[in-house]
Chain A
């Protein structure tokens, strides 16, 4: 946490009337750091649902009054909200005798950017949720969605651990593309050859593979490679023990370069 973090801590008795108090404290916190109304509304919803869970479920013994701690920390455009109790701990509840909707957690999951629930060693439940802050004018970062892959993308640490994953993924892709059994085994050989590549030829020591159907064929894009890595992989692509280049199995082999780096594109026909 950086020095500029602004922090609010509340310690409360687990009682229903204290939920309003938590929200007002958060509203004051929002005023103090010029947080936008949308972010404040999300924080209030999360804090209320989490505290309500503690009020209703954490201390079930008759006459028992427990403690709830609420902490809000604003730092670098994110508000982290922590709600902690020392009650009976988080339990899946298949049936709710009080007729509760069990909407609380889904609601938290919907409005929070991320959240976790833990059962600390000293008992009770600890919920941590994060909300991205928009300022009072509603300006915040607009989230961007990653583009869907055409078929599938995977990345695995280069080296021996890559082999079984790549072989199986290529085999299932070939099956789905209607490849014959013989061509499928070529796919497995190709996977082996990719996995056997030199670890240092791959950028960040990761083998990335993107599989897509190109017409009736299967295009396998491997990379990104470090400069010259794709060429070195091609040169090394000898079928183990056969002395035949794997590229003979492919209908097209290209080295492509873009912003992400150098990639090897291998197209195989069924």
Chain B
């Protein structure tokens, strides 16, 4: 630490998880306050016979066990799986790995698999694009488009 360097020490214990609500953090006037997603949320839904795993907020190595659990749960009853990233604000490569694994499992079991990520989830969309996964997974720009694509895959 160089001399005269102002230092502020914050001691943190293990962070308690206090709900998964999006919180707004007030910062000093004059600076742009940004929405803060303290903990990423994972939710399972069902619509039209499709299992939907909804990820919102930020997801990384810390939430990947819950994401994998939700993906495995969604795949367990043999329906098509849709991962909705439209309200996700951040994903890292461990989450991308979990998505690719889920897709592989779905393809092996001849089940439908699709990902939805809207333009509003810009940082997430960008990561999917720069890694080439936007085409690979494939990624649709809305949940409705992803559902329609799954419907079209369905053997009639």
Give the chain B neighbours of A55 by CB distance below 8 A: 61
8 Å CB contacts to A: which residues of B72-98?
90, 92-94, 96-97
Instruction: Identify which of A23, A27, A52, A136 contacts B94 (C-beta below 8 A).
Output: A52
Q: Is B18 engaged at the interface, CB distance under 8 Å to the other chain?
A: no
Q: Give bound CA distance, A64 to B102, whole Å.
A: 31
8 Å CB contacts to A: which residues of B17-39?
27, 31-34, 36, 38-39
The answer to whether A110 and B130 touch across the interface, beta carbons within 8 angstroms, is yes
The answer to whether A101 and B92 touch across the interface, beta carbons within 8 angstroms, is no
The answer to whether B96 and A16 touch across the interface, beta carbons within 8 angstroms, is no
Give the interface size class of chain A. Answer: 20 to 34
The answer to whether B90 and A107 touch across the interface, beta carbons within 8 angstroms, is no
**Given contact pairs A45-B127, A100-B93, A110-B130, A19 touches B62 in the complex (Cβ within 8 A):** yes
The answer to whether A31 and B97 touch across the interface, beta carbons within 8 angstroms, is no
**Given contact pairs A41-B126, A101-B97, A20 touches B38 in the complex (Cβ within 8 A):** yes
8 Å CB contacts to A: which residues of B29-64?
31-34, 36, 38-39, 58, 60-62
The answer to whether B97 and A100 touch across the interface, beta carbons within 8 angstroms, is yes
Q: Is B123 engaged at the interface, CB distance under 8 Å to the other chain?
A: yes
Give the interface size class of chain B. Answer: 20 to 34
Give the chain B neighbours of A258 by CB distance below 8 A: none
Q: Give bound CA distance, A30 to B130, whole Å.
A: 23
Give the chain A neighbours of B92 by CB distance below 8 A: 19, 45, 48-49, 52, 104
Q: Is B152 engaged at the interface, CB distance under 8 Å to the other chain?
A: no
Q: Give bound CA distance, A23 to B91, whole Å.
A: 12
Give the chain A neighbours of B60 by CB distance below 8 A: 16, 19-20, 48, 52
B6 (CB) vs chain A CBs: closest residue: A7
Give the chain B neighbours of A23 by CB distance below 8 A: 58, 90
Q: Is A21 engaged at the interface, CB distance under 8 Å to the other chain?
A: yes
B126 (CB) vs chain A CBs: closest residue: A41
Binding site secondary structure of chain A:
helix
Q: Is A17 engaged at the interface, CB distance under 8 Å to the other chain?
A: yes
Q: Is A44 engaged at the interface, CB distance under 8 Å to the other chain?
A: yes
B59 (CB) vs chain A CBs: closest residue: A20
| Contact digits for A27-46, partner B, Cβ 8 Å, 1 yes 0 no | 11011101001000100110
B17 (CB) vs chain A CBs: closest residue: A17
Give the chain B neighbours of A19 by CB distance below 8 A: 60-62, 92
Q: Give bound CA distance, A44 to B123, whole Å.
A: 10
**Given contact pairs A20-B39, A49-B93, A101-B93, A107 touches B130 in the complex (Cβ within 8 A):** yes
- In the complex, how many angstroms separate the beta carbon of B139 from the nearest chain A beta carbon? 16
The answer to whether A16 and B93 touch across the interface, beta carbons within 8 angstroms, is no
8 Å CB contacts to B: which residues of A153-210?
none
B129 (CB) vs chain A CBs: closest residue: A110
B interface residues, Cβ below 8 angstroms from A: 12, 14-15, 27, 31-34, 36, 38-39, 58, 60-62, 90, 92-94, 96-97, 100-101, 122-123, 126-127, 130-131
Task: Give 29 pairs: A residue, B residue, CB < 8 Å, sorted on A.
Answer: A16-B60, A16-B62, A17-B15, A17-B62, A19-B60, A19-B92, A20-B39, A20-B58, A21-B12, A21-B15, A23-B90, A28-B27, A30-B34, A31-B34, A45-B127, A48-B60, A48-B90, A49-B93, A52-B93, A99-B101, A100-B93, A100-B97, A101-B96, A101-B100, A103-B96, A103-B131, A107-B93, A107-B130, A110-B130
The 6 closest A-B pairs by CB, nearest first: A41-B123, A103-B93, A16-B62, A16-B61, A101-B97, A31-B31
